[in-house]
Structures are given as structure tokens and as C-alpha cells.
Amino acid sequence: MRIVVMGQQAFGKDVLNALLEAGKDEVVAVYCEPDKGSPDPIKELALEKNLPVQQPAAFKDEATLETLRSYNADLMIMAFVNVFVPEAARDVPKLGSICFHPSLLPLHRGPSAVNWPIIMGSDKSGFSWFYPTDGLDEGDVLLQWECPIDPDDTVINLYFKKIYPAAVESVHEVCELFRSGNPPHIQQDESLATYERRCTKKHAHIDWHKPVDQVYNLIRGTNPAPGSWTTYKGAELSIYDAAKMAGDGVSGRILEITEDGIQVQCIGGRILIKRVKPEGAAKVTAHEWANSVGLTTTDTFNTQD
């Protein structure tokens, strides 16, 4: 097949590289976002392989669509795409377009699909390849892959160690399904659909008076980005590595400071903070930071700015 790859960053690059190494299909062009500083990794790989690169900011004008038509593609593979691609562009390839999304659609439609399942306490996630429409992640599904969310998984573990490698490898199955001549079209169940907004800093603010499971899920579901945070004496403190512990006490209180970290009481248990990032500084162990500011068990973290 003649394939247009549209994508960005490391995932787009690795999908492109997987297709090139397999050598079963001809990549006729690579599309990515306009440069924002240094070139995107997928662009660098495409240029290295002497592939045509297009970087339209939108697909509204006829000249942009005509360029896409000129590649006479059979399929467009959309791997991690932020630019809206209208139907007029999606339907240019003979077999249409297929898009990657890092959740089990129709669950977790939207831009932070790896964060929210962890934050919400889900026990599974995965990815979907689906036929994009003008709606947000609403098209029929081609295939899905499922994995467990383990109790201590962070975004790093879930995405980069589980979803990412399986998703890159799955592009071969995607192509095989289209080569078969009858790729599946599995309709999404709209009654199960969930939509979440982008997970931002404001969502990552810790309230230590919440149940310990909720606090722990927020910390791991925002690690490494956008990063959970609290305040201490008016200064922001980002919290990364942490663990959940048993223990009683007054909710919101700092109960123990050891070389292992800082124990903070929540409802029904404690959070052991292991690594932090003070405002304007580098990440350090929680013990190092506690010593540097003279933290004691009479102190508390703020729950409001």
C-alpha cells in the first residue's frame, strides 16, 4: 500500500520507523505540525530517509488538499495528531484514514487519555485505532488493545512501558487489516462514552483532606506531567514519587519525616512523599528538601492557595 504518515514527536517517529523497517508498504509522504523551535523527531527521520515532508497548519485551502491528492495514497495513518484534519482531507486516500488514541474508546475521549484513567482509579486502559470523524474521538473502531493499570502505575509506567511499545508494534496489524480488504468497523457505544478535558496544573492540586486513594491516584496520574503539587509557606512544591501507607492521624498533618520521605495523613491512610521539586529548583528527595527548609511534624501543607 501507499501510505501517508501523519504524526509528531517520538510516537510518530517510531510508527514511521516501524513501517519503514517492515518494508511491506511504501511511505509516500510524512505530515507533521509546523515547526515550533527545533524540528519534530518525525520530520527529522523523514528527511533522513528522503521522504517528502508537509507541514500545513490547517487543511482548509484547495492547494493543501491538492498536494495531499498528488501522493495517490491508499491509507493515511494518523499517529498522535493535534491538528484538526477535516473530512475533505481524511477521505483523500483510497481507503481513508485511521487514527491512534491511547484509551479504550469510547472511554476517555479527549487529550489526556492516559492521565484520567489513573486519576479516576481505573484498573485497565489500552489503546484504540479508529476511523476519525469530525467528532472528538467518535469514529468506528478498527482494533483495540487492553492492559491492566497496576496499583502503583504512574503515567510513565502505563504509557511508556505498556501502551507505547504495543501501540508502535500494532501499526503492522493495522496495515494487515486494511490489506485484507475488509477491515473491521466496530461502532462505539455512545452510552459508555466519557469526555475529559486536558489535565492541567489546576487539576493536579492536592487536597490532603481527601481519601488517601484519591490523593495517591492524583499523584501517580499526573506523574510526570502536569505534576501534582501543594504549597508550603506560600511556595509551590511539586510532588512526584510517592507511596500509599496505612496509618491514622489528623487529616492534612505531616506525621513523620525520615530518610524514606515525608508522611502526610489523608482520610483512611497516609501518603509517603519520596521525591519533590521545589518552586524554581531541581527535583530532590523529600528528605533532602525537608532538611533544607527545616520541616517539622508541626507543619502542614496548604490545601488552598
The CATH number for 159's domain is: 3.40.50.170
For the purposes of burial, counting CB atoms within 10 Å of the CB of 262, is it exposed (0-12), middle (13-18) or buried (19 or more)? buried
Question: Residue 261 pLDDT > 60, yes or no?
Answer: yes
Residue 101 counted as domain residue: yes
Rounded to an integer, the average pLDDT of 77-83 is 92
In a domain, 301, yes or no: no
Tell me how many domains the chain contains.
2
Same domain, 129 and 111: yes
Could you report the per-residue pLDDT of 160-176, keeping only the tens digit for each? 999 999 999 999 999 99
Q: pLDDT-derived band of residue 304, with 50, 70 and 90 as boundaries?
A: very low
Output the pLDDT for position 302: 76
Cα(245)–Cα(247) distance, integer angstroms: 6
pLDDT, residue 1, reads 96
In a shared domain, residues 144 and 260: no
Instruction: Find the CATH number of the domain harbouring 224.
Output: 3.10.25.10
Q: Which residues pair with 77 in a beta bridge?
A: 5, 98
Mean pLDDT value across residues 80-87:
91
* Final residue of a structural domain among 142, 170, 192: 192
What digits encode the pLDDT tens for the residues 206-227? 999 999 999 999 999 999 999 9
Asked if the model's pLDDT at residue 83 lies above 90, the reply is no
pLDDT given at position 305: 38
User: Could you list the residue range(s) of the whole structural domain that residue 159 is in?
Assistant: 2-192
Share of the chain above pLDDT 90, in %: 93
Q: Are 118 and 155 in contact (CB under 8 A)?
A: yes
